[in-house]
Amino acid sequence: MSEILKLSDIKPGEYAKVLKTGGEGALRQHLLDMGLTPGAALQVIKYAPMGDPLELRIHGYELTLRLSEAACIDVERSDAETASTRTGIYTDIEHPGLGEYGKTHDKSTEDPLPKTSRITFALAGNQNSGKTTLFNALTGSNQHVGNFPGVTVDRKDGVIQGHPETRITDLPGIYSLSPYTREEVVSRSFILDEKPSGIINILDATSIERGLYLTMQLMELNVPIVLALNMMDELRGNGGSVNINRMEALLGIPVVPISASRGDGLQELVDHALHVAKYQERPLRRDFCSEDENGGAVHRAIHGIIHLIEDHAKAAGIPARFAATKLIEGDEMLADQLDLTKNERETVEHIILQMEEERGLDRSAAIADMRFSFIQNLVAESVIHPRESKERERSRRIDKILTGKYTAIPSFILIMAAVFWLTFNVIGAWLQDLLDGGITALGDWVAAAMEHSGASPMLQSLVTEGIFAGVGSVLSFIPIIVILFFFLSLLEDSGYMARIAFVTDKLLRKIGLSGRSIVPMLIGFGCSVPAIMAARTMPSERDRKLTILLTPFMSCTAKLPIYGFLTAAFIPAYAGLVMVSLYLLGILVAVLFAALLKRSAFRGEAVPFVMELPNYRLPGAKNVGRLLWDKAKDFLQRAFTVIFVASLVIWFLQHFDTGLNMVDDPETSILAVVAGTIAPVFKPLGFGSWKFSTALITGFMAKESVVATLTVLFGEGAAIASALTLPAAFSLLVFCLLYTPCVAAIAAVKRELGAKWAAGLVLEQCAIAWIVALAVKVLFELLL
């Protein structure tokens, strides 16, 4: 017997076997769900550049773990994983036909859906298993995005192409059905409450063990289910093979090998899914415990509890098998739903205690172990693992640099710099000039045409100064915005974001955040709305709130037109430098603010950091294309609704006085009077004219509107340059960077955190913006 060590004592490259998983509650369940069960063999791969967290390999996939969490796991050193040496290919024996008796489904309970009813599917799987790719491939463009009822977790619905009677709902990416994250709760209540006719469960065939852990829990829900083995191209390309028929027989559900990104096997998947759903063919097997295994303690406990709670489970509409295993795992939420009597609760507790004693493992570990040993047996019988795949090897080589001890942080900085440089200088700039030229030409042409046809001067002014100046001034930013989104999505889908989280975790913890917070923040450079929603994946409420409060400080793309406009008018020579400084200032303010919050409202430790590091993969062109189109559409929509209307309203208010007479001098217009009342607030900042307060107010609707309004009110560059001193221009830039996020972002915060937080955020950001802008102005007045 070798000595008992902590996982945190294991050096990179060394192998170990888990003896005991410590910790408690959600953290512990999460560790177990991710496969850190007693007996599991693992290899420590490396430590993050700052010494924390560590990366390890277990069950054939890579995980990150903080040292503090690794310290709760007892291990012993072991020899190199005896990698399976089996090679060969399972020759493709004919796949069982649809609904073949007894092969993959339980036909005894067959109860076909009425012909006319809508067939609904839930699409479930791990993160990075290819869910989005499959969803897009199946639905084409028939998609609808919304929220799950009552909670704010993204919900995408679509219709399977060619089958208008279907609806498929993309569930969030999850690893288990424990009640510890919103994603898991949402997924499980969706299946239990909305009762989809079937589940399409997608898993990454290159880390099959990981995916099957979820599959087994989904099967316990006793809903017709089809398993889609994705990434088969990658598996086969590296000499791996799956005996599909054997796996089907062992699991008792149809298994279809697919490649979502290439579109292989999708037709077969749809056929099988429609079939099991139509005929309501439920999984043949829901029982994964064996009476011979480890004395059968777990088996007896599960079945004992099933019988005990059967009536309650039926009444609550929860499958008894699922209820029983969750009860054993200590799932309080489910215990409440079952509404057990005190006596029954105690009996359940006794059964569990007995099992713990006989099995020598505590409840959660015993269940996780039961699942993983079933998986191991299944995989041993039906899967030939690929040799060290090209993709993994490539990932490892890339990681040597991107997460290497000395190269990680410089690479990160370089990559981000390259992204911004390419976006603004190389690709974005000339596209923008091109578009700008086009819009100006069109504007001139329309102006000339109107002049020629003798349209009234008022109409001419409305069209040229109102519409073209307003909407046109922001429209030309569309290429830059789309390109920035392109790079951000590339970073995210390629798997690099997860590495950034791994590398920066220790740094972010110093300001009370976790590595995961960096993902929403980076997305925040694109737009705060998806960034705020991306914070949903954070496992702790505290971190989620903190991250949401900080993302609006990241300079979003809508603020770009403001920077572009003002730098062009004031210091064109240093435009780039000013822009970079603004981005950095946003980050700096966020860091200081976080440090402040950590010391006051947000005391406490950051959450566990157990995260999968997927292989690097190139995202599919179609997916990227769709995303970019969505972003462009979004922006265009805003340009022609909010900004269009705002430009018109501003034009109108500027040209009429309170008696609705047209004015010659804008100083007497309605706008001057109304906006003039709040203008004094900005006097100390150097931009006390009503024109600026108007622009800032319209910026509340959409940040691009600030520029639209300024152009309507001042005309192009020159006039504004004489209205502000240089320090005042800096102060205006800083104020625009930091002040309240736009309505859409505030609405997102309200959805996520409630009205109080949203209102607080607006006030807090305005106050911070005011103070920092003043400081900047004073500083520059001293310097210049």
Question: Where does this chain bind Mg ion (CB under 5 A)?
Answer: 132
Phi/psi at 389 (nearest 5 deg)? -70, 155
What is the closest distance, in whole angstroms, from the C-beta atom of residue 781 to ligand GDP in the complex?
A: 50
Q: Per CB under 6 A, does 539 bind ligand GDP?
A: no
If binding is defined by CB under 6 A, does position 131 make contact with ligand GDP? yes
Asked if 43 is part of the footprint of ligand GDP (rule: CB under 6 A), the reply reads no
- What is the side-by-side strand order in the sheet with 611-612? 5-6, 73-78, 15-21, 41-47, 54-58, 61-65, 611-612
3-state helix, strand, coil in the chain (%, to 5): 60, 10, 30
Phi and psi dihedrals of 206, rounded to 5?
Answer: -85, -10
Supply φ then ψ for residue 576, to 5 degrees: -60, -45
If one asks whether residue 211 binds ligand GDP (CB under 6 A), the answer comes out as no
Q: What separation in angstroms does the CA of 718 have from each of 442, 496, 721? A: 22, 44, 5
Q: Could you say whether residue 158 binds ligand GDP (CB under 6 A)? A: no
Instruction: Name 5's bridge partners.
Output: 75
Interface with ligand GDP, residue 612, by CB under 6 A: no
Number of C-alpha atoms within 13 angstroms, CB side, residue 514? 24
Selected range binding ligand GDP among 32-40, 112-120, 129-137, 297-305, rule: CB under 6 A: 129-137
Q: Is 183 a residue that touches ligand GDP (CB under 6 A)? A: no
Nearer to Mg ion, 197 or 537 (CB): 537
Provide the 3-class DSSP secondary structure of residue 539: coil
- The long-range contacts involving 512-515, CB below 8 angstroms and separated by at least 24 positions, are 512/546, 512/594, 512/595, 512/597, 512/598, 512/602, 512/606, 513/543, 513/546, 513/547, 513/550, 513/594, 513/606, 514/538, 514/543, 514/606, 514/607, 514/609, 515/53, 515/64, 515/609, 515/611
| Candidate ranges 253-261, 586-594, 696-704, 733-741; the one touching ligand GDP (CB under 6 A) | 253-261
Q: Which of residues 132 and 694 has its CB atom nearest to Mg ion in the complex?
A: 132
Query: Smallest distance, Å, CB 619 to ligand GDP?
Result: 4
| Least distance in angstroms from the C-beta of 206 to ligand GDP | 9
Identified binder of ligand GDP from the candidate list 9, 81, 154, 233, rule CB under 6 A: 233
Q: Is there binding between residue 129 and ligand GDP (CB under 6 A)? A: yes
Interface region with ligand GDP, contact rule CB under 6 A, candidates 226-234, 461-469, 551-559, 757-765: 226-234
Find, among 391, 408, 377, 401, the residue nearest to 502 by Cα.
Answer: 408
Q: Which is nearer to Mg ion, 132 or 709 (CB)?
A: 132
Nearest to 729 by CA among 579, 559, 567: 567
Minimal distance in Å, beta carbon 157 to ligand GDP? 15
DSSP letter string, 668-732: GSHHHHHHHHHGGGGGGGT--SHHHHHHHHHHTT-THHHHHHHHHHH-STHHHHHHS-HHHHHHH
Q: Which is nearer to ligand GDP, 147 or 637 (CB)?
A: 147
Q: What, of ligand GDP, Mg ion, none, does residue 259 touch, CB below 5 to 8 Å by kind?
A: ligand GDP
Is residue 104 a contact point for ligand GDP (CB under 6 A)? Answer: no
Residues 259-298 contacting ligand GDP, CB under 6 A: 259-261
- What 3-state DSSP class applies to 204? strand
- Round to whole Å and give the CA distance between 494 and 619: 6
741's contact among ligand GDP, Mg ion, none, with CB below 5 to 8 A by partner kind, is none
Q: How far is CA 4 from CA 17, 77, 81, 556, 710, in A?
A: 10, 8, 18, 50, 69
Q: Which stretch binds ligand GDP (CB under 6 A): 412-420, 615-623, 678-686, 732-740?
A: 615-623
Listed ranges 125-133, 138-146, 540-548, 736-744: which one lies at the site for ligand GDP (CB under 6 A)? 125-133
Q: Which of residues 386, 472, 608, 619 is near ligand GDP by CB under 6 A?
A: 619
Mind giving me the DSSP string for 58-74?
Answer: ETTEEEEE-HHHHTTEE
| Choices 362-370, 593-601, 616-624, 767-775; region in contact with ligand GDP by CB under 6 A | 616-624
Closer residue to ligand GDP (CB): 130 or 283: 130
Residue 78 interacts with ligand GDP (CB under 6 A): yes or no: no
Residue 547 as a binder of ligand GDP (CB under 6 A): the answer is no
130 binds, among ligand GDP, Mg ion, none (CB under 5 to 8 A by kind): ligand GDP
Nearest to 481 by CA among 577, 566, 420, 558: 558
Q: What distance lies between CA 575 and its chain's CA centroid? A: 33
* Binding piece for ligand GDP, criterion CB under 6 A, among 227-235, 279-287, 551-559, 727-735: 227-235
Candidates 34-42, 124-132, 382-390, 751-759 — which segment interacts with ligand GDP by CB under 6 A? 124-132
Residue 516 touches ligand GDP, criterion: CB under 6 A? no
**CA neighbor of 166 nearest in space, from 139, 193, 203:** 139
Question: Which partner in Mg ion, ligand GDP, none is near 196 (CB below 5 to 8 A by kind)?
Answer: none
233 binds, among Mg ion, ligand GDP, none (CB under 5 to 8 A by kind): ligand GDP
Residue 127 engages ligand GDP in binding (rule: CB under 6 A): yes
Stretch that binds ligand GDP, among 160-168, 228-236, 690-698, 700-708 (CB under 6 A): 228-236
Structure tokens belonging to residue 607: 């959450």
Our CB check for Mg ion shows the closer of 37 and 132 to be 132
Looking at beta carbons only, is 129 or 669 nearer to ligand GDP?
A: 129
Comparing CB distances to Mg ion, the nearer of 132 and 325 is 132
Q: How many CB atoms lie within 10 A of CB 65?
A: 27
Alpha helices in 422-477 (DSSP H): 428-453, 457-461, 469-475
Number of residues that bind ligand GDP (CB under 6 A): 20
* Strand 383-384 with 241-242, pairing: antiparallel
Helix H, strand E, coil C: the string for 98-113 is CCCCCCCEECCCCCCC
Residues contributing to the site for ligand GDP (CB under 6 A): 125, 127-133, 173, 230-231, 233-234, 259-261, 493, 617, 619-620
